[in-house]
Amino acid sequence: MGSLCIIAAIPARFYAPGKRCSTMQVLHHTQSVREALKAHRVGGRRIGFVPTMGNLHRAHIELVKIAQSRCDVVVVSIFVNPLQFGLHEDWDKYPRTYAADTAKLRDANCDYLFYPDEQEIYPNGMAEQTRVVVPAMTDTLCGASRPGHFEGVTTVVSKLFNIVQPDEAVFGIKDFQQLALIRRMVEDLCIPIEIVAGEIFREADGLALSSRNSFITAEERPRAAQLNQSLNWIGEQIGAGQRDFAALEAAARQQIEAAGFRPDYVSVCNSRTLQPAADDDSDITVLGAMYTSAARLIDNISLSL
Ligand code: PAF
């Protein structure tokens, strides 16, 4: 297509995945998102949504491709959500790479970028913001060391869902606890959005792609896949019949320490509830987090026994 692209006038059957308009529109306000998407909704087009905090890498673009393969119109949001960062966390240092991000999204033929500022998302201030909490899984695992983090995530994601009102939303499995919380929120609050999971993308040595990898120093980088190696080691032990999960978790923490990092947690969990796994659980996810000198990295592997 040329640069003139009147999406609203194209009947749904001609606006199929793969035949996309390459002129991405950048929208800053809730009202403009609603207006832009209205014609698509009326036209019966399926709307896919990929919420992000920017600093986009290959894994984000893969989420956009998943949305494109399933939907007619794809919206990506970039908002570095202050509500999900703790007092001593890295909100101010979080990489803001708007020019590079928009170029990547245009290359990927994304249809709309929603890029609001803080005032647009929290017009009444953060302190007074109504919160959405998923009590069952908010305070465990990553939530234990990041108080308030998941409350900030579920609150902003429900706001973004209400602004975009997509048919589907795509989230990466790397943030397994976040994905589980959002699935639970959607179920508990009867939100009519299908949640789709995108696989973890890894560097050649197994390090999961993450926006925070840019904080890993050159000296640390050769050892940074240790978290993944330790989770895989636990997977092999469980596959071989080992069921003393506490012993496996302790051994994995020691491996991480021996590689020069500070483990936050390593936990063998029931994949659905994220509670510690029972001996006879068949769907298990092993989750872990560790600190490098300037980053907190997370990873997980899932096992079907
Ligand atoms: O995974 C992220 O990037 C963020 O937690 C999300 C889902 C965009 C909410 O701010």
Cβ–Cβ < 8 Å for 172, 296? no
Angle between helices 58-70 and 98-107 (to 10 degrees): 40
pLDDT of amino acid 89: 83
Asked if 149 is an active-site residue, the reply is no
Sheet with 262-270, edge to edge strand ranges: 262-270, 283-291, 296-304
Residue 286: beta bridge partners?
Answer: 268, 301
Distance from residue 287's CA to the centre of ligand 1 (Å): 18
Please check the confidence at residue 116 and state whether its pLDDT lies above 60: yes
- Cβ of residue 299 lying under 6 Å from some atom of ligand 1: no
Distance 52 CA to ligand 1 centre (A): 5
With a 6 Å cutoff on the Cβ, whether 102 touches ligand 1 is no
Give the chain's largest Cα–Cα span: 62
Question: What pLDDT sits at residue 19?
Answer: 52
Q: What confidence score (pLDDT) does residue 244 get?
A: 97
160-218 pLDDT, tens digit each: 999 999 999 999 999 999 999 999 999 999 999 999 999 999 999 999 999 999 999 99
User: For ligand 1, is residue 157 a contact (CB within 6 Å)?
Assistant: yes
**Among protein residues, the one whose CA lies closest to atom 6 of ligand 1:** 52
If you average pLDDT over residues 219-224, what whole number do you get? 98
User: Is any atom of ligand 1 closer than 6 Å to the C-beta of 142?
Assistant: no
The answer to whether residue 67 scores a pLDDT higher than 70 is yes
Domains located in the chain, CATH noted: 9-198 (3.40.50.620), 211-304 (3.30.1300.10)
Query: In the prediction, which pLDDT does 78 show?
Result: 98
